Structure 1
Amino acid sequence: MKGKVITFLGASESGKTLLIEGLITKMGGKIKNSSPGPTSSIKVYGAFFKDIPFYFIDTPGEENFIAELKWAMSVSDLGVLVVDSTVPVKYYIYRIFEMAKEIKLPLINFINKIDAEKTQWAQTICDLQDMLEILQIPVVYGFNTTQPLFLVDLVEKKKIIEENLKINYEKIPEMFDHKTQTLSDQLLEVSAEAKDEFIEKYLEEGLLTKDELIEGIKINLQNQKMIPIFIGSAYSGLGVGVFFNKILEFYPERSFPLINTNAGFGLTFKTIYDPYAGKLSFGRIFKGSFKADSKLITSQGKEEKYTQIFLPRGDSLEAVKEAKEGDIIVFAKVDALKTGDTFSTEPLKEALPVPEMPTPMFTLALHPETRADEDKISSAISKIKEEDPSLNFYRDEETRELLISGLGSIHIEKTIEKLREKYGVKVKTSLPRVPYRETIKKPVQGVIYRHKKQSGGRGQFAEVHFNVFPLERGRGFEFLETLTGMNVPRNYVPAVEKGVREAMEKGVLAGFPVVDVKVQFYDGKSHEVDSSDLAFKLAAIQCFKKALEQASPTLLEPIIELEIFVPDETVGDVIGDLNSRRGRVLNLEKEGKRTKIRAQAPLAEMLEYVVTLNGLTGGRGYFISRFSHYEEAPPFVAEKVIASAGAKSQEE
């Protein structure tokens, strides 16, 4: 039978892991190492039920690791939203819903902890129906009387008796008949809307058969027209059996992007470097099969042999001889295989699409503590980047800092922890240096500099005459040669331009690169013996610096453009904070129950913005940023930056 993949989604401490482990146990699988708490990475479990291989993917419950959800959802047939009924519904659920909607992943809600003391599961259902812009209908409901809470199957309209994954039914107490019928009619009406023939029958007869009702739910689920709601308790097991049985009844057939080929192929969605097993590549097979002791070809065109393949069994891996369509396969020590690669049995002309990674929102500079750490960090970073493609590591050529960018402070903290504990690399962190620029505000003409050096033997002589002009912001640099006569041989012109460009690398205010200037080289003097390319280059450097000092130099600061997504009720606080950061709001756009704020702000004011935004929105806001332009820094900012640069220069 074809393997089925279900991803469990939800906020931290909602009970996802406990629900998965409970299901695995009920299916006869074994859990060797129960997960200790919140995780920053996805984990795959596997078990059989009625000869069908099931794979359950557990996902992180924190927004900093939302990229992990994207990878898991990209290979899943179905998503289960696990919601804690003892606390208010978290906005994270809405983010998950949005992602699922975008990639057309069918969703089911499992309202957890309904037997806990502080549960408000009925209110949780109402809150979800209000938050998510899609029809949500209970399939299983509960009644609480003087006796313990019992569950009702609204398809069968009977009381549920669970024995592990075996389900029996009893008649509902008469006092609950009316409420059950009302809820069942609601489910019937929604199910009838799935097909025209169902609608006609429902309007004529007021009913559907049980099979038609289930088919209607399946079609609506598959087409994302509804989210079936289940209630239960992962801790006690209440409702877990009926939840799983109902999933089997209307399990959706999700359509994935496929490749026109007869070859077997799949998508790699996770890479793990295990201290004992080495590199493990997790992928889902979408067509064909893969056998042990064979070869694969990646979407990068690389061919590699492998010895072992594994399938998830319980919370461990089991070596197998063959993995088939639908299975989650694990390749061991296949160096060519990277997260996001399509793997196949034959060369392919195209690759499967991969999820778009979220934009990093927080950046820090990494400083290895010792020389040994510096030697090891490149290899460690390469592996961490494979394990988490949402991280960006890069060296800023201007500041020469090694930077790490992630989705938030927790994302980066966990990565630094992994560097230390898994790879033995210790680093210190700091906020990155802001890449300021320098420019001029007024033109200067007739700037002359003579370079003359005589120390025995051949000397050095060059004289250059410059006019220097400011350019429009963003124009960069222009060099214009307008020499007349033969005071300067034309073969020295490239050396003069080279000297100016070298001088532009460090301005006269704080040592930042100079931009948006035009230099006119209009005259000079030379010596037939002592002039050289070097002499004219050195003269050009000093002449340009002299011109800068006379041309009202000023500091430019980088401005970034932001799209900030926040709940409607926090818009005022977020705008107020932006104003305090010298930000400018460009416009506001309503998107469902949230607002998108388009704004511009100085990069220097936004280095730790993600932390503030989390505080203002209760963790519900996020943003996308990109470089926009440079503009003149206010005097109080320029003075501070220049003073800081001067102090640093003295230290060095």
Structure 2
Amino acid sequence: MRPPTLRFCHGVRRGRTTIQPLDLDPIASIRNFGIVSHIDAGKTTVSERILFYSGETHKMGEVHDGLAVMDWMPQEQERGITITASTTTCHWSDCRLNLIDTPGHIDFTIEVERSMRVLDGAIAIFSAVEGVQPQSELVWRQADRYRVPRICFINKIDRIGADYQQALQQVVERLQARPVLLQLPVGVETSFAGVIDLLAEELVSFEESDLGRTVRRSPVPEELKPEVQEARLRLTEVAADFDDEVMADFLEGRAIPAERLRAALRRGTLSCAIFPVFLGSALRNKGIQPLMDAVCDFLPSPLELPGLVGRHPETGTGQTLTCDPAAPLQALAFKVMAEEGRRLTYLRVYSGTLKPGAALLNSARRTTERIKHIFHIHAHKREEIPEGRAGDIVAVTGCQVTLTGDTLSDPAQPLVLEGLEVPEPVVSLAVEAKAAHDRENLLSSLEKFGWEDPTFKVHEDPETGQTILTGMGELHLEIILDRLSREYGVQVKTGRPRVVYRETLRHQVERREVFHREAGDRRPENAELLLRVGPLPRGKGVRIQVPPPLAPLTSELMSAVRRSLQQGCEAGCRTGYPLTDVKVDVLEIPVEGGVPSETALWGAAQRGVILAAREAGPFLLEPIMSLELELPAEHLGKVLGSLQQKHGRVEGMEERGAVQVVRATVPLAEMFGYMTELRSATKGRGSYTMEFKGFEVAPAEVQERHGLLPC
């Protein structure tokens, strides 16, 4: 038997020195990837190991100690959860890794959404004990929507009750995906000692005495060879689907080298046809370096992705971008943070080269932004760099109005890139400053939170004058209030959380709206629009159709009409709740009396859509949540009875180890304070996770309470 080979993690993979200066990295070496999963599956623990083994940090931060580098916010350290997506850069093998660690809690799903929009690949983490959980399904769907190639890591193989095969089966059944196992575990639960690399046909173990820094590779033990050979045969069969030569050799029974199999599997991964699966225990420092190898081997560089299409802001003409530092600059803002009152804007650079002092056009807002400084971000620390090139993720200062989803372009070639899908907030809370002199500080602080978070909204109740916050859930708003106190010193009084309903329409209506306003000695302002509003199927949101700009109506005027209609829909028509599942068509804008001003068109459009919606039979929709409960079987009857009282619908039950798992849908209005109720019913042994599913017709009593006719 040949002696085992040793690998030390810092800067070495397959015998090659890895660390390169940042300014020498070719685009082909970049891996922009995120880590996504359900809460507590181990995202941040994996991130901390990646930083440690790459040499970026010299001490492992632990989530349970509140010392994780990537969880830098005080609220994250105290609660042991990730709240905001954190970015960092490190090196492994011949690659520069731009990593984004994302939250797992449903209230912060916008952090995953905005990350998926700019990532080239992802690691999806699943617990070997819990398997595919509700938030796992949500983030997987988000990655599907953006066609993000993924590799999977089944974590916690060392835990009691670990069953990686069950987790694999759930990936197939719940995610409709094709996972491909590239490793086998050596031992399970407390006897987990390492993995078998099926491509190299080697045993991989991790030295415990040096926190897993030393990786040992040795021959597969004799007793495991039959299982390994069978698993490698299955792996080869999958690889043959993506390489004709591999297929021919496979059918002829010829041996196929690991590198050829790896290349074929990479093609399948980049097309999102398959998802390579790796095993380990991040907390026990086992399996991370092979996972880092897999990021380099299977996830794409920016050069390997289909060209992104941008559209001219006025003509709508499409143009495919090339990931070329010499091309005109195009970048997407995917995150904004307020630091000491100033904006720090995170950008994915898709083409061109970004330099300090550059004047860029924000195509959506028709303003010019001047870049001051450019940084790579390491959690909450900055490293100033001389430029950001195509394929990179950077942060900049100097932007004054740019928000999440905006495009920054070379002014000579303006384009608008596809933005983000922002989920609708479903919970509201009334707040007021405890001290009268803090009111202005309260409003300005909330405005900064609005820069950062597209799912957080603020408005004033026209009847009570109260400031109303809306967000994705109780925890989301709780974090906002905590940050108000810590970061801005504002103490507030709060009301009880309330559900944010939505208005929608029964039938279609056309309305002609005329706007007229005297302007003193100047010419009166006049505008006229013919609108049609009507219902859409559930889940379609608001669709506004504005005719293309035709002289004398400019693109600026038509853009103003669209924004005004959008604001009118957000204001609602009867109850103050936003409209949804509604289409608005502008049928006619007469210009016989002269070209209307932007102000007049704005007034006619906003008033017209509100009044038309009032005539179209408005009624309320309520948010419905998908619920997954885990509890001991002896408490099942009591919990099911409680769900029935809450108008819940049980959609499935299964046993998961020693616990009973219940999946149900429940109106959000019934879920405030449910954790306390569940703990009482299960003597502290029950838990649940919840995610937004969609809107359904609200009960008759809710309609009547808001002055609307029941459905």
**Structure-1-length-normalised TM-score:** 0.68
Is 1:112–2:148 an aligned residue pair?
no
Equivalent residue, structure 2, for 1:153: 197
1:50 deviates by: 4.5
Q: Which has the larger radius of gyration?
A: 1
Equivalent residue, structure 2, for 1:307: 372
Name the CA distance, whole Å, in 2 between partners of 1:303 and 1:212. 50
Name the CA distance, whole Å, in 2 between partners of 1:313 and 1:237. 22
Name the CA distance, whole Å, in 2 between partners of 1:97 and 1:238. 25
Name the CA distance, whole Å, in 2 between partners of 1:432 and 1:247. 42
Query: What is the SS of the residue equivalent to 1:377?
Result: helix
Name the CA distance, whole Å, in 1 between partners of 2:500 and 2:347. 41
Name the CA distance, whole Å, in 2 between partners of 1:47 and 1:152. 27
Counterparts of 1:324-403 in structure 2 under 5 Å?
324-403=389-468
Name the CA distance, whole Å, in 1 between partners of 2:121 and 2:468. 37
CA distance 1:206–1:391, shift in 2 (3 Å): farther
1:621 deviates by: 4.4
Is 1:282–2:333 an aligned residue pair?
no
Name the CA distance, whole Å, in 2 between partners of 1:567 and 1:86. 15
Partner of residue 243 from structure 1, selected from 267, 287, 291: 291
CA distance 1:30–1:628, shift in 2 (3 Å): same
1:431 deviates by: 3.7
Equivalent residue, structure 2, for 1:295: 359
Equivalent residue, structure 2, for 1:193: 241
1:123 deviates by: 4.5
1:207 deviates by: 5.4
* Unaligned ranges ≥5, structure 1: 437-473, 475-511, 514-555, 639-652
1:562 deviates by: 4.9
CA deviations 1:46-104 (Å, max 9, x no partner) are 11335532111011121111111001111111111223335554322122212212221
Query: What is the SS of the residue equivalent to 2:229?
Result: helix
Is 1:5–2:48 an aligned residue pair?
no
For the 8 Å contact 1:29–1:313, the answer to whether it is kept is no
RMSD of aligned Cα (Å):
4.2
Partner of residue 276 from structure 2, selected from 194, 214, 228: 228
Query: What is the SS of the residue equivalent to 1:97?
Result: helix
Equivalent residue, structure 2, for 1:203: 251
Query: What is the SS of the residue equivalent to 2:694?
Result: strand
Is 1:142–2:185 an aligned residue pair?
yes
Equivalent residue, structure 2, for 1:29: 56
For the 8 Å contact 2:31–2:296, the answer to whether it is kept is no
Query: What is the SS of the residue equivalent to 1:619?
Result: strand
**Structure-2-length-normalised TM-score:** 0.63
- Number of matched residues? 508
Query: What is the SS of the residue equivalent to 1:625?
Result: strand
CA deviations 1:232-280 (Å, max 9, x no partner) are 23234322112211321222334363333641111111111223x8321
CA distance 1:220–1:617, shift in 2 (3 Å): farther
Q: Which amino acid aligns with 2:360?
A: L
* Unaligned ranges ≥5, structure 2: 1-25, 60-66, 72-76, 311-318, 322-326, 502-534, 536-574, 577-616, 632-636, 653-660, 679-685, 707-711
Name the CA distance, whole Å, in 1 between partners of 2:329 and 2:629. 48
Equivalent residue, structure 2, for 1:258: 309
Name the CA distance, whole Å, in 2 between partners of 1:558 and 1:398. 21
Q: Which amino acid aligns with 2:45?
A: L
For the 8 Å contact 1:290–1:345, the answer to whether it is kept is no
Query: What is the SS of the residue equivalent to 1:111?
Result: strand
Partner of residue 621 from structure 2, selected from 539, 542, 560: 560
Is 1:71–2:136 an aligned residue pair?
no
CA distance 1:407–1:573, shift in 2 (3 Å): farther
Partner of residue 335 from structure 2, selected from 261, 264, 270: 270
Q: More displaced, 182-191 or 253-262?
A: 253-262
Q: Which amino acid aligns with 2:57?
A: K
CA deviations 1:340-380 (Å, max 9, x no partner) are 11122335543111221112221222222221221212211
Q: Which amino acid aligns with 1:7?
A: G
Q: Which amino acid aligns with 1:30?
A: T
For the 8 Å contact 1:403–1:432, the answer to whether it is kept is no
Query: What is the SS of the residue equivalent to 2:309?
Result: coil
CA distance 1:10–1:48, shift in 2 (3 Å): same
CA distance 1:314–1:408, shift in 2 (3 Å): closer
1:390 deviates by: 1.1
Query: What is the SS of the residue equivalent to 1:405?
Result: strand
Q: Which amino acid aligns with 2:345?
A: S
CA deviations 1:474-506 (Å, max 9, x no partner) are 9xxxxxxxxxxxxxxxxxxxxxxxxxxxxxxxx
For the 8 Å contact 2:629–2:688, the answer to whether it is kept is no
CA distance 1:578–1:402, shift in 2 (3 Å): farther
Name the CA distance, whole Å, in 1 between partners of 2:52 and 2:492. 42
Equivalent residue, structure 1, for 2:605: none
For the 8 Å contact 1:29–1:314, the answer to whether it is kept is no
Is 1:619–2:689 an aligned residue pair?
yes
Name the CA distance, whole Å, in 1 between partners of 2:32 and 2:185. 28
CA distance 1:350–1:201, shift in 2 (3 Å): same
Name the CA distance, whole Å, in 1 between partners of 2:279 and 2:499. 51
Name the CA distance, whole Å, in 2 between partners of 1:304 and 1:345. 11
Query: What is the SS of the residue equivalent to 1:618?
Result: strand
